[in-house]
Amino acid sequence: MNIDLLAKNPLVKKTRVSKQELISFKLLRLLHISGPMPVTALTKALDISTPVLAAMLSRLVKEKWIEKKGKGASIGGRKPDLYACRDQSFFTICIDVELFTTRLAIVDNNFNIVTSIKNITLQLGNSRKDFCNHIHSAVKALLGSVKIPRERIIACSIGMPGLISQGLGENYTYLLDQTEQPLQKDLETTLQLPVVLQNDVKGAALAELRYGLARGKQNVLVLLMDWGVGLGIIMDGEIRQGSWGFSGEIGHIPFIENGDLCYCGKRGCLETVASGLALSKIARKDISTGTTSILGKLSSKDIQELAPSHIIDAANKGDQYAIQLLSDIGANIGKGTSTLIQLFNPELIILSGKIAEAKQYITLPMQQAINTYCMTQVREKTKIISANHPEHFRMFGYATNAIEAFLDASIDGAGS
């Protein structure tokens, strides 16, 4: 097994691998998920003898796939060497597409960001062709900023909002000017790279499960409160996708009878009263009718481009209008969350996204609503916390998705 195998990327074409390569990929996958491990644990997990494993470890160390990473706990003798995946063995281009902006970075197999995070203006309202071309230009510029052999890039992993079927490689909410092939294939054709397409909330949930606040837990809900509202469901220690990958669309549950029209085509969805879009829309309308707020001092252009961060900043400065507006949003999210608590009985709910940055202005009214609408015995078993991660944190979930897809495809190649 050497770097040439990456040139025959199994995400592009199923590639037959030898038995030795199969065990090597299983070893890499094990280290990827579990972190540094001693020889005794590796032999048991892989069900191979110590001499066979020793020879494999020696070869993989020489080929710079893995390395010794400190010492493990002693069980009566010398502390054993720990083995781990080596930094920069291979890379994933991670792209986080939001409604109005997009972030890009290259992440290595150990989740080190090896480029600066690039921000580009890219709206999901563009045509599919324009979207693919903008992504291509951004990826080209990103690759031009580093010296990474093309064959070491296993995939471009893209997370975005909307109804996304990862299996079918399609987004059924945005970029609907259909072509003859799914969005994933359009992107692969444009980028000339394997593409892993996923829903942004599920990427956030995977990042929390592997490396964040949900690590080691079994039943957790990740509530992403950005321009929209989405839900990542972790049950029995696994991300629940649903039959088509559409699980967690809490933003489009009916909430207000005969309410405002939602972009999904229905009226009164939770997202119309409990999202970043709703927050900005309500604030713009109120400011235009003369509501007293320091937000009214913004320029006309800034008011038209009003974002949740503007309203949170105003609340932090003591603006009563902004505080009340966030409180109303929090109460609505809390009422919706009370239903989730009774349905899933989670041990933990993680709040993330732009609106979660409002902290107590959201969490206090949210908790009050949960106390009102949720059974005491159920809610008392659930802890609610706000994530304190950087904005790019869910990129680690995207990278994980691509790495595991690559390793799984490599392992599956043994049976082709």
Task: List, for residues 85-112, the tens digit of each pLDDT value.
Answer: 999 999 999 999 998 889 999 999 999 9
**Average model confidence (pLDDT) for the chain?**
90
Report the pLDDT value the prediction gives residue 401, as an integer from 0 to 100.
94
Give the domain ranges of the chain: 4-87+406-415, 91-203+394-404, 213-388
Q: How many angstroms separate the Cα of 200 from the Cα of each of 186, 251, 380?
A: 19, 14, 29
Domains 4-87+406-415 and 213-388 fall in the same CATH topology = no
pLDDT in tens, 15-58: 666 778 888 889 999 998 888 999 999 999 999 999 999 999 99
Task: Tell the residue number behind the tokens 């195998």, with chain if given.
Answer: 5
**Does the CA dihedral 388-390-391-397 come out positive or negative?**
negative
Q: How far apart are CA 301 and CA 380, in angstroms?
A: 45
Q: How confident is the model at residue 416 (pLDDT cuts 50, 70, 90)?
A: very low
Q: Compute the average pLDDT of residues 245-256.
A: 93
Report the pLDDT value the prediction gives residue 360, as an integer from 0 to 100.
93
Q: How confident is the model at residue 159 (pLDDT cuts 50, 70, 90)?
A: very high
Q: Is 198 exposed, middle or buried (0-12, 13-18, 19+ CB in 10 A)?
A: buried
DSSP 8-state symbol, 310: H
* Residues 6 or more apart whose Cβ sits within 8 Å of residue 130: none
Q: How confident is the model at residue 193 (pLDDT cuts 50, 70, 90)?
A: very high
Whether the CB-CB separation of 276 and 354 falls below 8 Å is answered with yes
For residue 302, give both structure tokens: 């800034």
Task: Tell the residue number behind the tokens 């599920």, with chain if given.
Answer: 202
Q: How confident is the model at residue 11 (pLDDT cuts 50, 70, 90)?
A: low
> Among 127, 133, 138, which residue's Cα sits nearest to residue 95?
138
Give CATH for domain 91-203+394-404.
3.30.420.40
Report the pLDDT value the prediction gives residue 113, as an integer from 0 to 100.
94
Q: Which amino acid is at 131?
A: F
For residue 357, give both structure tokens: 């940055």
Q: How far apart are CA 252 and CA 272, in angstroms?
A: 9
4-87+406-415: CATH topology is Arc Repressor Mutant, subunit A (1.10.10)
Q: How far apart are CA 105 and CA 394, in angstroms?
A: 12
Whether the CB-CB separation of 302 and 287 falls below 8 Å is answered with no
For residue 333, give both structure tokens: 């999210």
pLDDT in tens, 305-334: 899 999 999 999 999 999 999 999 999 999
Q: How far apart are CA 116 and CA 106, in angstroms?
A: 8
pLDDT in tens, 111-153: 999 999 999 988 787 789 999 999 999 999 999 999 898 888 9
Which helix (H) or strand (E) is 94 found in, with range? Answer: strand 91-97
Q: Which amino acid is at 30?
A: L
Whether the CB-CB separation of 399 and 89 falls below 8 Å is answered with no
Q: Which amino acid is at 34?
A: S
DSSP 8-state symbol, 290: T
Q: Compute the average pLDDT of residues 394-414.
A: 88
Longest dimension (CA), the chain: 78
Q: Compute the average pLDDT of residues 210-220.
A: 95
Whether the CB-CB separation of 152 and 145 falls below 8 Å is answered with no
Q: How far apart are CA 201 and CA 250, in angstroms?
A: 11
Whether the CB-CB separation of 56 and 27 falls below 8 Å is answered with yes
Q: How far apart are CA 354 and CA 199, in angstroms?
A: 17
* Residues 6 or more apart whose Cβ sits within 8 Å of residue 97: 122, 124, 158, 159, 160, 161, 200
Q: How far apart are CA 273 and CA 281, in angstroms?
A: 10
pTM of the model: 0.89
Q: Does domain 213-388 have CATH number 3.90.1150.10?
A: no
